[in-house]
Chains A and B, each alone.
Chain A
């Protein structure tokens, strides 16, 4: 009975949102508990097809790597606590994806967190933004200065000049060049 309910629910939701047949087939191939977890998420967060597919891809890949079920992945404390937060739909989807990404890419997320901490230690003003290469694929670091006057820009440039002599800057480049 439960199996029929989840499959029916998936078909109804997919029809209402015009999901592709390939996505529906893949969803229905999952074990009952796994597809039911994703159905509850899709209904609660009103997921579009691409959003659902992203969550399915990542949670399936985590489950395969850790030899557990997709339902087990969604029972993790980090995800459960995000889902318990009082967030709007868009914020919730963003928070869920960020948390799931950290589980899906644990070593990359750790490397990114280490770099973010090094940047934080530079204590740069908000008008100076440090941009790292996407997915740390490369070692080009870009710095963006924003100012509403010549004086402000000069102040920010001077702050940047001071920050660039900090050992954390060398550490950032070492971290990009070296292994995790």
Chain B
């Protein structure tokens, strides 16, 4: 897989000697860099979203880092996940990515230069609630590892979480950028997880990402280095041959990793806001993703219609149960009625969270 490098780096004045800025400067010798007090210079002009992915802005983050996962929508079963945004935007170009819509007005790739403030904020929360078991991820507004070869952020994150007994860090990625992880000891507190899909979707709709084989080769490496693994079949996309496609992906995972090291596996159907759908239609090449049988759901997002969605969940869950009978699985952003129909149970948010925490401790 080709490593991403920006065409230009902007550094906020005063942050040029931050550890992240130093590491980026060392990694990107030869790439033009501008230190500026006015980051508006870094804003892409024409073709904003595509241009934004080719530049990197290093700046301080102001305000809170830690948020509840936005998947926790009323009416849907939630896994009580927290997200911390240390990077904003992603160098990859998945056709279905919600960032096309979510970051449309703020599309520059940003890495925040004050991750220490984020860790202090997390530390305070963990100390305030020693009885709780937190799962915290960095892969909401960014790929957790795509920029790690430049920023070296995992060198701060992994030791921090390794020191805490009531939290698990999840690094969620479509990359194979795991080199920095291999010499760190996660002490059982870090799950490295991969978003996976049918190979036809990976090949046609996930531009710039590692191939499925490359992702699984990286999973083997981190598993050998002591990390737990997670897999997210999200978004599941209905396309011709989806049954075979997802069956083959499950088989590839089973052949690549030790099932006992899997902390969790999620299933989530494609969901599109109306504005994301518009952004996807405006892409230069029509995507097969929009050809799924998508209809409006009660929350306003388009999803594959419920009967077909449940068929997909049941089918893929069947493959997973056969391959990984002991791995905790869950549905993302689905109402209790769909859980009941698919799994014969409708657990509370707290139960789901407890099961996933147990998946780490297993």
Q: How far is the CB of A137 from chain B (nearest CB, A)?
A: 5
Q: How far is the CA of A64 from the CA of B294 in the complex (A)?
A: 15
- Tell whether, in the assembled complex, residue A105 and residue B307 are in contact, meaning their CB atoms are under 8 Å apart: no
* Chain B CB within 10 A, most for which of A108, A134, A138, A175: A108
In this complex, what residue of A is CB-closest to B278? Answer: A22
- Tell whether, in the assembled complex, residue B308 and residue A179 are in contact, meaning their CB atoms are under 8 Å apart: yes
Whether a CB of chain A sits under 8 angstroms from the CB of B298 is: yes
Number of B interface residues, CB 8 Å?
23
Q: Which residues of B contact A179 (CB under 8 A)?
A: 307-308, 310-311, 314
In this complex, what residue of A is CB-closest to B296? Answer: A135
* Chain B CB within 10 A, most for which of A57, A60, A61, A175: A61
- Tell whether, in the assembled complex, residue A64 and residue B290 are in contact, meaning their CB atoms are under 8 Å apart: yes
Q: How far is the CA of A108 from the CA of B296 in the complex (A)?
A: 13
Interface residues of chain A: helix, strand, loop or mixed (majority): helix
Q: How far is the CB of A64 from chain B (nearest CB, A)?
A: 5
- Tell whether, in the assembled complex, residue A26 and residue B295 are in contact, meaning their CB atoms are under 8 Å apart: no
Kindly identify which residue among B290, B295, B307, B314 contacts A61, using a CB–CB cutoff of 8 Å: B290
Q: Which residues of A contact B310 (CB under 8 A)?
A: 178-179
User: Of B142-150, B218-226, B280-288, which stretch is located at the interface?
Assistant: B280-288
- Tell whether, in the assembled complex, residue B293 and residue A105 are in contact, meaning their CB atoms are under 8 Å apart: yes
Q: How far is the CA of A133 from the CA of B253 in the complex (A)?
A: 38
The interface bits of chain A over 112-152 (1 if a CB of B lies within 8 angstroms of the residue's CB, else 0) are: 00000000000000000000001111110000000000000
Q: How far is the CA of A178 from the CA of B314 in the complex (A)?
A: 10
Whether a CB of chain A sits under 8 angstroms from the CB of B337 is: yes
- Tell whether, in the assembled complex, residue B307 and residue A180 are in contact, meaning their CB atoms are under 8 Å apart: yes
Q: Which residues of A contact B102 (CB under 8 A)?
A: none
Whether a CB of chain B sits under 8 angstroms from the CB of A8 is: no
- Tell whether, in the assembled complex, residue B286 and residue A180 are in contact, meaning their CB atoms are under 8 Å apart: no
Whether a CB of chain B sits under 8 angstroms from the CB of A111 is: yes
Q: How far is the CA of A176 from the CA of B310 in the complex (A)?
A: 11
* Between-chain CB contacts (< 8 Å), 16 pairs: A61-B286, A64-B291, A65-B288, A65-B291, A105-B293, A107-B293, A111-B307, A135-B306, A176-B307, A178-B310, A178-B341, A179-B307, A179-B310, A180-B307, A180-B308, A180-B311
